[in-house]
C-alpha cells in the first residue's frame, strides 16, 4: 500500500513541477489569452485620463483581428504588463518605437517617421508634458490600426481631416465649409486636399517655424503643388495660371526676394475657409476685396477701386485688356530700341573701320610716293 502511495505522490509531484514550469515558461501565452477575460467584456470599466478623456477598456477581438497588428500578441505592445490580472497597475502608453524604427526586424514599415514626429510641434508638446498632445495612437488608432491606403484607416485621404478635428475643431469647421472641404467630403474627390496635404503628416510645425509647409516662405510652393499641376486642378476647369501670374506680380517678386509682409495666397484667399470668388463670404469676392486688401500692414484705406481690375493678370493674354496692349507696346518698343541701338553701333563701327582703312591706304600712298622720288 505504501509503495502505491509513494508512486502516486511522486506522480503528483512531477505533475506539479510540470505545471509550474508551464506556468513560468509559457506564461506569456497564458497571459495573452487571459487578457480577454476582462478586456473582452463590453461592460468592462472605463477610467478617466489626466486629460479628462474617458478611456474604454473593452477590446473588440474582431476589430483587432482585422488590423495590421492581428499577428501581434497583447504584450507585444503592452510590454510593461507582466502579470494578469494587473490589479492596481496602470499600463503605460504604448511605445510604438519598439517596432517602428529604421532597420527593425519585425517587418514594420521602414521609415524615420517617428523621429520626424519627435521633432514636430506635436512631439515637442508631448516632450513638454502636455497631456493632450497627440501620440501615434491618437491619429492612427489603437487596436484598429489599418494601412494608410485603406478606406477604414484614420489617416486615409477621406478620414484624416476628421481625425485632426478631434483637436483642431475650429479649423475643421472652416475647412468643411470651404471649396476644398466640399470637394473632399461631398464630391469625394481624391484630388482634394486634406489637412495633411498642406500641413504635412509627421513633420508638422507651427507656421512661424521656417520648417513649416505653411510658413510664409513655403506657403506659395505648398499651394502650387496642386494649383500649378494640370493633372490635378486642370481637369476640373481650374486655371493653373494663378501661380505663374502671382510669381510675376509685385507681391510674388517681393516674396521671392525675402519679404515677410508681401501678400501670398493665404493672405488673400484665407487659410482654412477658402471659398470661390462668387461666394459672398469669400475674402476675394468683389464686395470683400477692399477689406482684404486693406488689412493692416497691406493697403490701409483701400477703397472700391481695388475691386475694379483683375487680380491674376497675365500681360501676354489679350483678355487682360489695357495691360495687354501696354505690355505688347513696350515689348515691341523695347525690341525696336535695342535693334536701333545695335544698328547704330554697327554703323558707327563700320564708319570707324572704313576711316581707319582709308587712313592706312593714304599713308601707304605717301610712302610709295616718297620712294619713287
At residue 107, the pLDDT reads: 85
Q: Which three cell numbers stand for residue 242?
A: 494663378
Is residue 119 within 8 Å of 38, Cβ to Cβ? no
At residue 134, the pLDDT reads: 93
At residue 316, the pLDDT reads: 80
Global pTM reads: 0.75
Q: What is the mean pLDDT of the chain?
A: 85
Residues of the chain scoring pLDDT < 70: 1-33, 49-51, 53, 362-373
At residue 267, the pLDDT reads: 93
Q: Which three cell numbers stand for residue 368?
A: 610709295
156 phi and psi angles, rounded to 5 deg: -75, 170
Cis ω before 41 (30° cut-off from 0): no
Is residue 300 within 8 Å of 307, Cβ to Cβ? no
DSSP string, 65-79: HTSTTTTS-HHHH-T
Q: Hunting for cell 507696346 — which residue is that?
A: 329
- Centre a 10 Å sphere on the Cβ of residue 99 and count the other Cβ atoms it contains: 16
At residue 363, the pLDDT reads: 65
Amino acid at each position: 500500500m505504501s509503495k502505491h502511495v509513494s508512486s502516486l505522490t511522486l506522480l503528483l509531484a512531477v505533475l506539479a513541477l510540470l505545471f509550474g514550469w508551464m506556468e513560468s515558461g509559457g506564461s506569456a501565452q497564458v497571459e495573452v489569452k487571459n487578457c480577454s477575460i476582462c478586456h473582452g467584456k463590453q461592460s468592462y470599466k472605463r477610467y478617466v485620463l489626466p486629460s479628462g478623456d474617458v478611456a474604454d477598456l473593452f477590446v473588440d477581438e474582431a476589430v483587432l483581428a482585422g488590423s495590421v497588428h492581428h499577428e501581434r500578441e497583447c504584450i507585444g505592445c503592452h510590454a510593461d504588463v507582466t502579470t494578469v490580472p494587473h490589479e492596481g497597475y496602470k499600463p503605460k502608453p504604448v511605445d510604438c518605437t519598439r517596432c517602428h524604427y529604421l532597420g527593425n526586424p519585425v517587418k514594420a514599415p521602414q521609415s524615420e517617421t517617428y523621429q520626424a514626429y519627435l521633432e514636430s510641434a506635436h512631439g515637442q508638446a508631448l516632450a513638454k508634458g502636455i497631456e493632450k498632445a497627440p501620440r501615434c495612437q491618437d491619429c492612427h488608432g489603437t487596436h484598429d490600426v489599418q494601412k494608410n491606403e485603406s478606406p477604414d484607416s484614420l489617416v486615409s485621404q477621406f478620414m484624416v481631416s476628421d481625425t485632426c478635428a478631434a483637436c483642431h475643431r475650429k479649423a475643421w469647421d472652416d475647412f468643411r465649409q470651404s471649396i476644398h472641404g466640399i470637394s473632399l467630403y461631398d464630391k469625394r474627390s481624391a484630388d482634394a486636399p486634406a489637412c495633411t496635404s498642406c500641413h504635412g503628416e509627421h513633420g508638422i510645425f507651427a507656421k512661424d517655424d521656417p520648417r513649416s509647409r505653411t510658413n510664409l516662405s513655403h506657403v506659395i510652393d505648398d499651394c502650387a503643388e496642386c494649383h500649378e499641376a494640370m493633372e490635378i486642378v486642370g481637369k476640373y476647369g481650374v486655371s493653373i495660371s494663378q501661380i505663374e501670374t502671382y510669381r510675376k506680380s509685385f507681391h510674388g517678386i517681393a516674396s521671392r526676394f525675402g519679404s515677410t509682409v508681401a501678400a501670398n495666397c493665404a493672405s488673400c484667399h484665407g487659410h482654412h475657409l477658402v471659398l470661390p470668388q462668387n461666394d459672398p463670404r469669400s475674402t476675394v469676392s468683389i464686395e470683400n476685396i477692399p477689406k482684404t486688401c486693406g488689412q493692416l500692414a497691406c493697403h490701409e484705406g483701400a477703397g472700391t477701386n481695388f475691386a475694379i481690375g483683375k487680380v491674376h493678370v497675365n500681360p501676354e493674354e489679350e483678355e487682360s485688356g489695357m495691360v495687354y496692349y501696354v505690355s505688347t507696346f513696350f515689348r515691341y518698343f523695347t525690341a525696336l530700341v535695342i535693334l536701333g541701338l545695335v544698328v547704330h553701333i554697327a554703323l558707327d563701327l563700320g564708319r570707324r573701320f572704313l576711316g581707319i582703312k582709308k587712313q592706312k591706304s593714304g599713308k601707304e600712298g605717301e610712302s610709295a610716293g616718297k620712294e619713287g622720288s
